[in-house]
Amino acid sequence: MNGVLNPYSVKNVCEADGWSVIRLSGPADLPYGFSNRRVFRNSTPGSRPEPVSPQDGPGRALAHAPHRSGDRSSHTPRGSRNTGRYGRSGTLPPVPGRSAFHLALCALCCALLALITWQVAVGGPLLTLDAQLGAVMRRNSPPTFVAELCADLGNPGVALPVLAGAIAYAVATGGARRWLPPLYAVAAMAAAALTVSVLKVGLGRPGPLGGHNYYPSGHTATAAVAFGGAALLLSLTMRRPPHWPLLAVAALLTLSCSAGLIWRGYHWPLDVLASWCLGWVLLVSATALTRRGLRHPGGGPPDG
């Protein structure tokens, strides 16, 4: 290295007082120390040094952390990541703990649904306990108009308009892929109707007041998917929604419908419990597919 060592043209990277001797080359070397010392440009003998900012000049590369240039690609795939929630700012990151809990609960619901269906098919001992519990609930029923009002919550004329209103709101206020959450909500409702119809006809379980084809409860499944789907759609589209009250209201409406059906003698307790399991599995599946589609927009059909 050539030239005369100038204390103003050295930069400390080894000691705290700013006077280590790592030599720089070039006429406009601008290294500086860590002790708030002034930095000078063109500090030649006999001339007056000109103070400058440490950020000016090529010497800053040794004095600062590397700066990202404008044409440099990012280390993270920001361009391919969906950084917005459905209809508003934010993200839809996967939550490992919550996802594992939902998956475990979904598996439990599938196992419980299979167990109840098997017991109904073979006339197992669970049916005896089911009949006893249903008799106790009917004896302790609230007034008839209250029980009937609760049972009517599962009517298609009541539950489906709620889901349709949530779908209309989601389509009107959603983002570029606003069709995706309503599509999966409608698919969940269609799957619920198909599954309930097949099980009713295949098993032909008699009801508490006579008749056949009462397992599982179609009103409970309709209420669970309609109210739960509406809550999920609103939670995805509203700006700052309180998520848990929406889901709590959906669960309360579905529970009220289930209780009303048992109080009025329209269904056995196992009928509504099976529909609860079915509704949970369908809603969790629809939510997972929706989040997957929103995080990977290239995986579905083009936006319409």
pLDDT at position 62 is 44
Sign, CA dihedral 148-151-154-159, equals: positive
The DSSP bridge partners found for residue 40 are: 51
Please answer whether residues 259 and 240 qualify as being in contact, where contact means their C-beta atoms are separated by less than 8 angstroms.
Answer: no
Quick check: 79 pLDDT over 50? Answer: no
pLDDT tens digits for 187-212? 999 999 999 999 999 999 999 988 99
- How confident is the model over 108-128, as a mean pLDDT? 95
Q: Which helix (H) or strand (E) holds 186?
A: helix 180-203
CA distance 30 to 41: 7
Quick check: 214 pLDDT over 90? Answer: yes
Name the pTM for this structure: 0.66
Does 145 or 295 have the greater pLDDT score?
145
Residue closest to 126 by CA, chosen among 263, 276, 270, 275: 270
pLDDT tens digits for 219-230? 999 999 999 999
Using DSSP bridges, classify how beta strands 39-41 and 50-52 pair: parallel, antiparallel or unpaired.
Answer: antiparallel
282: Cβ–Cβ under 8 A, 6 or more apart, which residues?
A: 188, 191, 192, 225
In the DSSP assignment, the letter for residue 216 is S
pLDDT tens digits for 155-184? 999 999 999 999 998 888 866 677 888 899
Residue type, 287: T
Q: 120 falls in which pLDDT band (50, 70, 90)?
A: very high
Residue closest to 279 by CA, chosen among 303, 304, 258, 302: 258
Quick check: 86 pLDDT over 50? Answer: no
pLDDT at position 20 is 44
Q: 89 falls in which pLDDT band (50, 70, 90)?
A: very low
pLDDT at position 282 is 94
Residue type, 93: P
In the DSSP assignment, the letter for residue 65 is P
CA distance 52 to 276: 72
pLDDT at position 292 is 79
Q: What angle do CA 111, 116, 122 make, to 5 degrees?
A: 125
